[in-house]
Amino acid sequence: MAQEANQTPTPMLCSTGCGFYGNPRTDGMCSVCYKEHLQRQNGHHSPAGKLFLLIVSLISFPVASPGAQVAVAADVAEQSEKIKSRANRCSMCRKKVGLTGFKCRCGQLFCSVHRYSDEHNCTFDYRSAAADKIRRENPVVAGQKIQKI
Protein backbone atom coordinates (compact mmCIF):
# COMPACT_ATOMS: atom_id res chain seq x y z
CA MET A 1 0.00 0.00 0.00
CA ALA A 2 1.19 3.36 -0.89
CA GLN A 3 0.95 5.85 1.89
CA GLU A 4 -0.81 8.97 0.93
CA ALA A 5 1.00 12.15 1.66
CA ASN A 6 -0.60 14.21 4.38
CA GLN A 7 -2.12 16.85 2.15
CA THR A 8 -3.58 19.73 4.05
CA PRO A 9 -5.58 22.03 1.83
CA THR A 10 -4.27 25.54 1.78
CA PRO A 11 -6.76 27.97 3.27
CA MET A 12 -8.42 30.13 0.66
CA LEU A 13 -9.81 33.60 1.18
CA CYS A 14 -13.42 34.50 0.43
CA SER A 15 -14.05 35.01 -3.27
CA THR A 16 -15.88 38.29 -2.60
CA GLY A 17 -12.79 39.83 -1.07
CA CYS A 18 -14.14 40.47 2.42
CA GLY A 19 -10.99 39.11 4.08
CA PHE A 20 -12.42 36.02 5.77
CA TYR A 21 -11.70 32.45 4.76
CA GLY A 22 -13.90 30.85 2.14
CA ASN A 23 -15.19 27.32 1.84
CA PRO A 24 -15.39 25.24 -1.34
CA ARG A 25 -18.90 24.08 -0.36
CA THR A 26 -20.09 27.71 -0.41
CA ASP A 27 -18.60 28.57 -3.82
CA GLY A 28 -15.43 29.90 -2.22
CA MET A 29 -17.27 32.43 -0.06
CA CYS A 30 -17.32 32.86 3.69
CA SER A 31 -20.56 32.04 5.51
CA VAL A 32 -21.68 35.68 5.76
CA CYS A 33 -21.11 36.44 2.07
CA TYR A 34 -22.73 33.16 1.04
CA LYS A 35 -25.82 33.95 3.10
CA GLU A 36 -26.07 37.38 1.49
CA HIS A 37 -25.54 35.80 -1.92
CA LEU A 38 -28.48 33.45 -1.29
CA GLN A 39 -30.65 36.34 -0.06
CA ARG A 40 -29.86 38.34 -3.18
CA GLN A 41 -30.83 35.38 -5.34
CA ASN A 42 -34.14 35.02 -3.52
CA GLY A 43 -34.76 38.77 -3.53
CA HIS A 44 -34.96 39.06 0.27
CA HIS A 45 -32.97 41.68 2.12
CA SER A 46 -33.03 42.36 5.82
CA PRO A 47 -32.30 45.92 7.02
CA ALA A 48 -29.07 44.70 8.62
CA GLY A 49 -28.05 43.09 5.34
CA LYS A 50 -28.83 46.29 3.45
CA LEU A 51 -26.72 48.28 5.87
CA PHE A 52 -23.85 45.83 5.50
CA LEU A 53 -24.11 45.91 1.70
CA LEU A 54 -24.21 49.72 1.77
CA ILE A 55 -21.07 49.91 3.91
CA VAL A 56 -19.27 47.34 1.74
CA SER A 57 -20.21 49.28 -1.39
CA LEU A 58 -18.91 52.51 0.18
CA ILE A 59 -15.62 50.86 1.00
CA SER A 60 -15.33 49.25 -2.42
CA PHE A 61 -16.55 52.18 -4.50
CA PRO A 62 -15.87 55.54 -2.84
CA VAL A 63 -18.18 58.39 -3.83
CA ALA A 64 -16.51 61.26 -5.64
CA SER A 65 -18.54 64.34 -4.70
CA PRO A 66 -18.75 65.60 -1.09
CA GLY A 67 -22.52 66.22 -1.40
CA ALA A 68 -23.11 62.61 -2.34
CA GLN A 69 -20.94 61.48 0.56
CA VAL A 70 -23.17 63.41 3.00
CA ALA A 71 -26.30 61.86 1.50
CA VAL A 72 -24.80 58.37 1.73
CA ALA A 73 -23.68 59.01 5.32
CA ALA A 74 -27.22 60.12 6.22
CA ASP A 75 -28.60 56.91 4.67
CA VAL A 76 -26.14 54.83 6.71
CA ALA A 77 -27.15 56.66 9.90
CA GLU A 78 -30.85 56.15 9.13
CA GLN A 79 -30.36 52.41 8.54
CA SER A 80 -28.38 52.02 11.76
CA GLU A 81 -31.11 53.87 13.72
CA LYS A 82 -33.73 51.46 12.37
CA ILE A 83 -31.65 48.53 13.53
CA LYS A 84 -31.03 50.07 16.96
CA SER A 85 -34.71 50.89 17.46
CA ARG A 86 -35.56 47.20 17.24
CA ALA A 87 -33.64 46.45 20.42
CA ASN A 88 -35.89 44.73 22.93
CA ARG A 89 -35.66 47.21 25.77
CA CYS A 90 -38.30 48.94 27.84
CA SER A 91 -38.87 52.50 26.63
CA MET A 92 -39.03 53.78 30.22
CA CYS A 93 -36.33 51.99 32.22
CA ARG A 94 -34.27 50.57 29.28
CA LYS A 95 -34.43 47.08 30.86
CA LYS A 96 -33.99 44.20 28.39
CA VAL A 97 -37.35 42.56 27.89
CA GLY A 98 -36.64 39.93 25.23
CA LEU A 99 -39.76 37.97 24.32
CA THR A 100 -41.66 39.12 27.40
CA GLY A 101 -41.99 42.72 26.25
CA PHE A 102 -45.40 44.36 25.94
CA LYS A 103 -46.13 46.53 22.91
CA CYS A 104 -48.46 49.38 23.83
CA ARG A 105 -50.98 51.03 21.53
CA CYS A 106 -48.79 54.13 21.56
CA GLY A 107 -46.25 52.05 19.61
CA GLN A 108 -43.55 51.58 22.23
CA LEU A 109 -42.26 48.47 23.98
CA PHE A 110 -42.38 48.14 27.78
CA CYS A 111 -41.40 45.75 30.56
CA SER A 112 -43.94 44.13 32.86
CA VAL A 113 -43.75 47.04 35.32
CA HIS A 114 -44.32 49.83 32.77
CA ARG A 115 -46.80 48.02 30.49
CA TYR A 116 -49.87 49.81 31.86
CA SER A 117 -50.80 53.16 30.32
CA ASP A 118 -50.71 55.02 33.64
CA GLU A 119 -47.18 53.74 34.35
CA HIS A 120 -45.58 55.16 31.22
CA ASN A 121 -47.66 58.29 30.50
CA CYS A 122 -49.22 56.79 27.39
CA THR A 123 -50.09 59.20 24.59
CA PHE A 124 -52.76 56.95 23.06
CA ASP A 125 -56.31 58.30 23.39
CA TYR A 126 -58.30 55.29 24.58
CA ARG A 127 -61.57 57.23 24.94
CA SER A 128 -61.76 58.41 21.32
CA ALA A 129 -60.58 55.00 20.06
CA ALA A 130 -63.40 53.28 21.98
CA ALA A 131 -65.95 55.83 20.72
CA ASP A 132 -64.80 55.26 17.13
CA LYS A 133 -65.04 51.50 17.57
CA ILE A 134 -68.60 51.76 18.95
CA ARG A 135 -69.56 54.09 16.09
CA ARG A 136 -68.20 51.64 13.50
CA GLU A 137 -69.62 48.46 15.00
CA ASN A 138 -73.06 49.80 16.03
CA PRO A 139 -74.63 51.78 13.21
CA VAL A 140 -77.68 53.88 13.96
CA VAL A 141 -80.86 51.93 13.29
CA ALA A 142 -83.96 54.05 12.85
CA GLY A 143 -87.38 52.78 11.85
CA GLN A 144 -89.37 54.36 9.10
CA LYS A 145 -91.93 56.94 10.02
CA ILE A 146 -95.52 55.79 10.24
CA GLN A 147 -97.81 57.35 7.68
CA LYS A 148 -101.06 58.75 9.05
CA ILE A 149 -104.25 57.73 7.33
Digitized pLDDT (tens) for each residue of the chain, 149 residues in all: 445 455 556 778 888 888 888 888 888 888 888 888 888 888 755 555 555 555 555 554 444 555 555 555 666 666 656 555 556 899 889 999 988 899 999 989 999 999 998 888 888 999 999 999 998 998 778 888 888 87
Burial string for 21-41 (b: 16+ CB within 10 Å, else e) reads: ebeeebebbbeebbebeeeee
61-67, long-range: CB < 8 A, 24+ apart = none
Reported pTM: 0.36
102-103 and 109-110 strand pairing: antiparallel
